[in-house]
Chain A
Amino acid sequence: MRPKTTSLTLKLIALLLAVLALGGCRRQSAPTAEEGAAAIIQNKGSDTMVNLALAWAEQYQLFEPHVRVAVTGGGTGTGIAALINGTVDIANASRRIKAEELEEAQGNGIEPVEFVVARDAIAVIVHPSNPVDELTLQQISDIYSGKITNWQAVGGEDRPIVLLSRETNSGTHVYFLEEVLRLGQSDNKTLFSPDTLLLPSSEGIGVEVRQNPNAIGYDGLGYVTADMKTLAVSRGAGQPYYPPTAKTVNAGEYPIARDLYMYTAGEPQGQIKAYLEWILGPAAQQTVLELGFVPISDTGATP
């Protein structure tokens, strides 16, 4: 009995060592295989963009079978941190790189290059039965900061307003705070009302908006489904109201829209350059539209 156990243990140890050795090999070879037969492009960042980035990666595979694009999410901050540390080739970002991130990258000898790859409109959503059709930015700001607490004040029924928001670690949350609650004014210190429900996912907001006639929420246009109502938004009283669509976003009419970025470490070369050029082309931009984002109108790379 005993010798048998020993040999089994030995076999197990050998297997373990083999697995470890193989694991070590893969980790070493992955980042270096950028050119040649099977190039791998590491792509990481914004959760808002992760579905889009995945769709692009899959399509590009059909188009260029010898290039593999590995996509991971984790958030804009995570993606840019990975770019700074040199572990990814392309970082996805739903906001511009911050000044301190840029400094840190330059400290590491990396010069991030920015590409606008798509646009995202943030839709303000309510229950389909809500009679309110349109709001000004100022009204949305007052609602979310707790100054307006009843739908009656903005032309709706006599119902309390239930505020829904993404969690504070979401790029969408920060964007909404800066551009809507604070109306884009840097000296404006308005905060979300403490009564705001912070939901951990887009799905959580969707579930609540679909069934609760008191609720107001916001989310990327890509997450809006037919069974919720999107509101038309105007920049101020007396100005025209625009619904969030590809047309109004690209014309700069819908006020709550942002650019989505990809960052590379230095001017992109070889396969990475080809991939980015393909993304800015018509085929990939068609996918942008299908996923509910807004394609960039001109193929404008902004280095």
Chain B
Amino acid sequence: MTDKLEDKQKPSISWLEFFIERAIQASGISAIVLVVLIFLFLIQEGIPAFFEVPLSSLFAARWYPIEDYFGLLPLIMGSLIVTLGAAIVSLPLGLATAIFIAEIAPAWVRDILKPFVEVLAGIPSVVIGFIGMLVFAPMMRVALNIPTGLTAFTGILLLAWMALPTIVSVAEDVLDAVPVTYRDAGLALGMTRWQVIWRIVLPDGRSGVLMALMLGVGRTIGETMTVMMVTGNAARIPTGIGDLFMPVRTMTATIAAEMGEVAQGSAHYHVLFAVGLTLFVITFIVNIAAASVVFRQVKRAERMLS
């Protein structure tokens, strides 16, 4: 840390250490370089779409690429409805589970629950999609008396299920990191257990909890296989709350389904990259928004401490 320490270590730095330092530095920089390269690649392949296809066509309501209908609206709406829905379902559930594991459950329950939740995170999305297609969608059709079980709602529930382990695991770590002394202080002042959780633990871990939610949502917006298998992939524009129980087509499923056989360099190819670019920009905005909230809170905390 201080100059003195560095001075002491200097003579012992061998070429190996120099090499390791450079390697670590390079891997750090490579993350940035990779993101920039991906972004440039998407721009290079996606921007021609805006010249080849008139803007009015890109914002039309119909997506049927083999007949040159390139309306992106149904895809964007489809992705938004499924992602937002999954976020709304998974956030309270995930947070409640994390609070239960971190604050309320006895130690032995917690020792069982935590690893199980983490195993849940490891289930491949294609397996979840398969369960959804074979078991969940038929159940939904019968239970809700809707024409088909392959709907946005089925996708929302499955995606929420996939986001939960991430949210629970990260949020629980964050809550666990809140110093015990804070809780003790609250309890000593005569606060109830609920007041301690709501007024002390959660506000203190707020930025970390937000990060957990963002990671969970991040998994849902990029998820492809599950949504492709259970949402029906009908490119229709959702207009009302009833459309939750109708099929939708997401941006990710569209790219996955169509990229395989599209002619390279065609308008359809460029439009698919434009879809990817849109997806990238949306996740980028979400991440920046989350980071700025976290950052602002850190600054406020520093101000209060100083």
Chain A residues within 8 Å of B, Cβ to Cβ: 74-75, 77-78, 159-162, 167-169, 174, 191-192, 194-200, 204, 207-208, 211-212, 214-215
Residues from chain B with Cβ under 8 Å of A197 in the complex: 148, 150, 232-234, 247
The distance in angstroms between the C-alpha atoms of A54 and B261, with both chains bound, is 21
Contact, CB under 8 Å: A204 / B64:
no
Contact, CB under 8 Å: B141 / A169:
no
Instruction: Answer yes or no: B143 CB below 8 A from chain A CBs.
Output: no
The distance in angstroms between the C-alpha atoms of A290 and B139, with both chains bound, is 35
CB distance from A49 to the nearest CB of B (A): 15
Is the contact region of chain B dominated by helix, strand, or loop, or is it mixed? Answer: mixed
Interface flags for B257-275 (1: CB within 8 Å of A; 0: not) read 1101111000000000000
Residues from chain A with Cβ under 8 Å of B247 in the complex: 195, 197
Contact, CB under 8 Å: B236 / A204:
no
The distance in angstroms between the C-alpha atoms of A200 and B262, with both chains bound, is 15
Residues from chain A with Cβ under 8 Å of B246 in the complex: 195
Contact, CB under 8 Å: B134 / A168:
no
Q: Which of A77, A169, A191, A212 contacts B148 (CB 8 A)?
A: A212
Interface set, chain B 108-130, CB cutoff 8 A to A: none
Contact, CB under 8 Å: B257 / A215:
no
CB distance from A144 to the nearest CB of B (A): 12
Contact, CB under 8 Å: B233 / A194:
no
Contact, CB under 8 Å: B257 / A167:
yes
Instruction: Answer yes or no: B31 CB below 8 A from chain A CBs.
Output: no
Residues from chain A with Cβ under 8 Å of B149 in the complex: 212
Instruction: Answer yes or no: B222 CB below 8 A from chain A CBs.
Output: no
- The count of residues in chain B whose C-beta lies closer than 8 Å to any C-beta of chain A is 35
Contact, CB under 8 Å: B67 / A191:
yes
Contact, CB under 8 Å: A200 / B233:
yes
Residues from chain A with Cβ under 8 Å of B170 in the complex: none
Q: Which of B61, B66, B147, B234 contacts A168 (CB 8 A)?
A: B66
CB distance from B47 to the nearest CB of A (A): 24
Chain B residues within 8 Å of A, Cβ to Cβ: 61-62, 64-67, 69, 74, 133-134, 137-138, 141, 147-150, 228-229, 232-237, 246-247, 249, 256-258, 260-263
CB distance from B263 to the nearest CB of A (A): 7
Residues from chain A with Cβ under 8 Å of B249 in the complex: 198
Contact, CB under 8 Å: B263 / A77:
yes
Closest 8 CB pairs of A and B: A169-B261, A197-B232, A160-B147, A198-B233, A194-B236, A162-B148, A211-B138, A167-B257
Contact, CB under 8 Å: A200 / B229:
yes
Also in contact, A168 and B65, with CB within 8 A (given A75-B260, A197-B148) = yes
CB distance from A126 to the nearest CB of B (A): 13
Interface centre among B64, B149, B236 (most CB of A within 10 A): B64
Q: Which of A75, A191, A199, A207 contacts B134 (CB 8 A)?
A: A207
Interface centre among B133, B234, B236, B257 (most CB of A within 10 A): B234
Contact, CB under 8 Å: A167 / B234:
no
CB distance from B209 to the nearest CB of A (A): 36
CB distance from B18 to the nearest CB of A (A): 15
The distance in angstroms between the C-alpha atoms of A56 and B67, with both chains bound, is 35
Closest to B261 in A: A169
Q: Which of A169, A194, A214 contacts B234 (CB 8 A)?
A: A194
Contact, CB under 8 Å: A169 / B138:
no
CB distance from B172 to the nearest CB of A (A): 36
Q: Which of A74, A169, A207 contacts B257 (CB 8 A)?
A: A169
Closest to A166 in B: B257
The distance in angstroms between the C-alpha atoms of A204 and B249, with both chains bound, is 15
Interface centre among B137, B149, B232, B256 (most CB of A within 10 A): B232
The distance in angstroms between the C-alpha atoms of A235 and B55, with both chains bound, is 41
